[in-house]
């Protein structure tokens, strides 16, 4: 496991095939953590995320209606909470949220290293500080492109990866 690598995913929207591809990619890369920026949708998606070889940090999205079921399903993988939320990993401070309404206002924050968000279904990778990462939609339903990101917290370089 490479603790310095973080997988970033959002807007899976119950696409089990895309989730399986993302989990396979994150496991192959040896990510130490996977961050999900919301819109998992149904608790049954844990069937695919269960194969992930590392813990997760998650926030609810605007389409995550069955929140109690999702919370219960993901207890073994990591905390799922309302965003925005802040957590530390490998010496870096992350701000995790689903919706993008305040993203531009966060530019220049000095106490956050990485802002992770979803919701727009469009990849957005902006250098920081803080580094802004929207991995786009993993589900691929809206834009017909399934993407995730992998961040190296040592170099603060992020890579957008197509799951197709």
The CA-atom distances, in angstroms, between 81 and each of 9, 22, 34, 76 are 16, 22, 15, 14
> In terms of C-beta density within 10 A (0-12 exposed, 13-18 middle, 19 or more buried), how is residue 117 classed?
buried
Q: Taking 80 as the threshold, does the pLDDT of residue 100 lie above it?
A: yes
Nearest-angstrom CA–CA distance, 124 and 87: 21
The full set of domains in the chain, from first to last, is 2-162 (3.60.21.10)
Q: What is the dihedral of CA 163, 91, 32, 18, to 10 degrees?
A: -20
User: Tens digits of per-residue pLDDT, 147-161?
Assistant: 999 999 999 999 999
* Residue 162: Cβ within 10 Å count: 12
The CA-atom distances, in angstroms, between 41 and each of 84, 104, 121, 127 are 18, 26, 15, 30
For the entire predicted model, the pTM comes to 0.96
């Amino acid at each position: 496991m490479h603790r310095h690598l973080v997988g970033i995913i959002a807007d899976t929207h119950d696409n089990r095939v895309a989730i399986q591809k993302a989990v396979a990619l994150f496991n192959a890369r040896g990510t130490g953590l996977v961050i999900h920026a919301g819109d998992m949708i149904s608790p049954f998606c844990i069937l695919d995320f269960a194969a992930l070889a590392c813990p997760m940090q998650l926030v609810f999205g605007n389409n995550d209606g069955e929140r109690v079921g999702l919370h219960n399903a993901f207890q073994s993988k990591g905390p799922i909470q309302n965003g925005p939320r802040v957590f530390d990993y490998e010496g870096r401070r992350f701000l995790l949220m689903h919706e993008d309404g305040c993203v531009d206002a966060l530019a220049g924050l000095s106490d956050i290293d990485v802002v992770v968000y979803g919701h727009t279904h469009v990849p957005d990778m902006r250098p920081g500080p803080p580094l802004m990462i929207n991995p786009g939609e993993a589900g691929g339903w809206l834009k017909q492109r399934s993407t995730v990101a992998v961040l190296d917290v040592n170099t603060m370089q992020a890579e957008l990866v197509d799951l197709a």
